Amino acid sequence: MHAETVVKDSLALQIFDRLEQLLLAAENETRPLELDPYRSQLFELFVMAEAAGFLEEESDPDLSGDGISHELARRWKLADAAREAVSQQAKLPAEHLSRMRLLWSCLRMWMEWTYAWQRWPEFHGEQAARRSATPPE
């Protein structure tokens, strides 16, 4: 395994771990992720993941919304809980429902930031070029 791959995998694991810790802290405090300090900390993790190239298509490791969803759902055993609830024709246990809602809040913001980040140059490229070409007064 190349040293670069080890570093990337280590960074991705740190981001996943920090994401999980952040979401669980919000759950324990019964505070929405959309409010600070959680929102700003989540955005910092997003910026780190983007800078590392983990949001690009077919990135390995994958920290896109899909990648985060798969990893945290695996860690929290959400798919197993959903299958069991369906097979028993029962409601999803409160703990799992709470985590699904938390994960959805995280993913919604993550996907919105991804979209905005990808479209930034489209709306700011020319404006930024004009500013840099204009000599200071």
Distance CA 64, CA 68 (A): 6
Q: Which two tokens stand for residue 129?
A: 């070029």
Q: How many domains is the chain built from? A: 1
Note down the domain range covering 112: 3-133
- pTM of the full predicted structure? 0.80
- Exposure string over 19-51, b if 16+ CB within 10 A, otherwise e: bbebbeebeeeeeebeeeebbebbeebbebbbe
Encode the chain (137 residues) as per-residue pLDDT tens digits. 576 666 678 899 999 999 999 999 999 999 999 999 999 999 999 999 999 999 987 888 899 999 999 999 999 888 887 787 777 777 776 787 888 899 999 999 999 999 999 888 888 876 655 555 555 55
DSSP string, 26-51: HHHHT--TTSTTHHHHHHHHHHHHHH
Query: Cα 74 to chain center, whole Å?
Result: 15
pLDDT computed for residue 65 by the predictor: 92
Distance CA 2, CA 4 (A): 5
